[in-house]
Amino acid sequence: MGTKAYFMINMDKRFSEDGYYVDAIRELEAMPEVESVEAVSGTYDLVATVDAPIRVVLVANKVLEKEWVKRLHVLQAEPTEREAAIPHVPKAEPAEREATIAWTRR
């Protein structure tokens, strides 16, 4: 178990209007770090749950390389008290935690 995060993704308009959701979801699901992907309504088009073995930013960079990604916002999941109490779940030190990250493709 690595670092858990949620990737909130805006698709480039030309891809989201042309119905590329299924292909985008398949591309993300093919990545070993991605646990699940859902199409959503609202500000973002897709939400992916990620378990990064090393650093979330490395996985985020892989996602940003996809031509259909316009914007990526990363929320890192912090362990709950219950998870922190389980001996086999490593607790991240504050220095190892990554900040919320947002990128926009221009």
Domain of residue 23, residue span: 3-104
- The larger pLDDT score, comparing residue 81 to residue 16, is at 16
88, two tokens: 């086999």
CATH number of the domain that 14 lies in?
3.30.70.920
Number of structural domains (the chain) is: 1
Gap between the Cα atoms of 26 and 3, Å rounded: 22
pLDDT tens-place string over residues 60-76? 999 999 999 999 999 98
Over residues 81-105, mean pLDDT? 53
User: Closest by alpha carbon to 1, among 102, 75, 69, 83?
Assistant: 83
Residue 84, pLDDT > 70, answer: no
CA atoms of 37 and 95, how far apart (whole Å): 29
